[in-house]
Amino acid sequence: MLPKAFYKHLAPALLAGFLLRLFFILRFPFYSGDTAYYEELARNWLNYGVYGFYSHGQLLPSDLRAPGYPAFLALVYSLAGPGRRAVMLAQAFVDLATCVLAAGIAARLAANLSELDRGRITTAALWLTALCPFTANYAAVPQTEVLATFFTTLAILIFLSPASMRVESITSKQDLLRAVGVWFAGGLVVGLGTLVRPETPLLLIAVVIALWFRNLRSAKWKNMAVAILWMTLGLLLPLTPWAARNALSLGRMQFLAPRYAETYGEVLPTGFYAWTRTWMFRFQDVYLFTWKLSSQPIYEKDLPAYAADSPEERSRVASLLQRYNGAHGMAITIDREFAVLARERAQRHPVRTYVWIPIERAAAMWFTPRITLLPYSGRLWPLVDSYRSNPTDFLVTLGLAILNVFYLGMALAAARSWRMNTGILLIAAFILIRTAFLTQLITCEPRYVLVCYPALLALAAQISLCLQVGGKHSDRTVPIAPST
């Protein structure tokens, strides 16, 4: 149950949040490279009943993208016509629903506090998420982030139900049935989210970790096994029709979208990908290298100094890039030589490759001004020169960077009490697991961590009482509620 004080703020917060999203939609609409793929899938599915793409004048089924987001687009098209503005407005309302779910998460994290304190925390979470420009901005781009964030936030809210976490308190058949219903519902929502973003099941790993930690002393391993079983069944239920469709239409059982979003049988430049993972951590390098593959020349002058350990190695890379440019594509022989370079770099500096580069990628994804969809450069250094060259660009970038650090600082302050609150442990474990996974992808896109932001802001709201200067709680320590 949400506190009564929360409902006084519900309409004003949602109105303010809608106006913020409408501002981005009208002022900064954006269309990514993936947008066209999703739109074509949705149109073909809606108009011709085939989930696929045209190839050589023929409409062929495809499993290149999972069907969750195209299904959302097709639904919007069927109701409002095939316009991008309608899609963005629909995403704005979905994102506002996510804000309410985040407030529910904040309420469950503060379940043992007084009604007054829970009301303040829940209200803070609602306003924080409604006015967060980073998530609001993605309502203005036809992309998976808004829908994936909604399903992830809903799943976390479900798993934070007391019936889900208190394995040791299951003493009757009624308790077990209640817990099974929560575990199955959570797994089902994760399955639906997996049809939008294939890494969504990482949340279930965090749930298992939280369950294990919460019930370590009780040793209720049978109940733990039941929890895992029902979460798995819930996960598989929405994925099974997709896999069955792939088996019937394409002759292969494919539960998730392909790892590299590749066509079946396509030869991938995995050697080149392995080489970039030994040095790439900045998102701007993705534009200059990874996203140019097979379509544009890649230049040695764009190679940062840390991508080569010696002049000889840089010369080898330059030679490979010249051959790639001359062949107008990544030949297998060139890719194999990039793979050799990757192995040599990893053997020479294993700590750098497997520890420092992932840490740098994680830091780049989290500590960023998040101006990817905005017409700003993101340039801050050197400070004086950046300000003089474009004051507006500099101030917007600096302001968003400070806001991002503020959000993360609040969440980290609340996360210190993870031993007292299993819900905080679940959210922290999910963020860490997801971040670790994302550091191993071929690109290091900051947008991939946005899925965590509603839960992160719900966590940040737990210390909102301490920020009420002059209020009754201004001299208190962080009022984190312990798990029961």
**82 confidence band (pLDDT: 50, 70, 90):** confident
Residue 338 burial class via C-beta count within 10 angstroms: exposed 0-12, middle 13-18, buried 19 and up: buried
Residue 184 is predicted with a pLDDT of 96
What stretches of 131-282 show up as alpha helix (H) in DSSP? Answer: 133-136, 145-159, 162-165, 173-194, 202-214, 221-250, 270-276
Q: Is the dihedral of CA 337, 340, 344, 345 positive or negative?
A: positive
Residue 431 is predicted with a pLDDT of 97
**167 confidence band (pLDDT: 50, 70, 90):** low
> Which region among 172-186, 324-338, 393-407 has the lowest average model confidence (pLDDT)?
172-186
- pTM recorded for the entire structure: 0.91
In this structure, what are the phi and psi dihedrals at residue 123, rounded to the nearest 5 degrees? Answer: -65, -40
Other C-beta atoms lying within 10 Å of the C-beta of residue 249: 15
**75 confidence band (pLDDT: 50, 70, 90):** very high
Q: Where are the domains of the chain?
A: 4-260+417-432+442-467, 270-368
The better pLDDT of the pair 23, 178 is held by: 23
CB 158 within 8 A of CB 165: no
Other C-beta atoms lying within 10 Å of the C-beta of residue 241: 11
CB 409 within 8 A of CB 458: no
**Residue 348 CA: distances (Å) to CA of 308, 339, 352, 441:** 12, 14, 9, 22
> Which region among 275-279, 313-317, 328-332, 349-353 has the lowest average model confidence (pLDDT)?
328-332
pLDDT digits (tens, 9 = 90+) for 134-156: 999 999 999 999 999 999 999 99
Residue 196 is predicted with a pLDDT of 96
pLDDT digits (tens, 9 = 90+) for 438-453: 999 988 889 999 999 9
Residue 478 is predicted with a pLDDT of 43
| Encoded tokens for 384 | 């004086």
Tell me how far apart the alpha carbons of residues 484 and 482 are, in angstroms, rounded to a whole number: 6
In this structure, what are the phi and psi dihedrals at residue 371, rounded to the nearest 5 degrees? Answer: -110, 20
**Residue 28 CA: distances (Å) to CA of 137, 139, 201, 367:** 8, 10, 32, 22
> Which region among 229-238, 286-295, 363-372 has the lowest average model confidence (pLDDT)?
286-295
Site of tokens 């996974």: 437
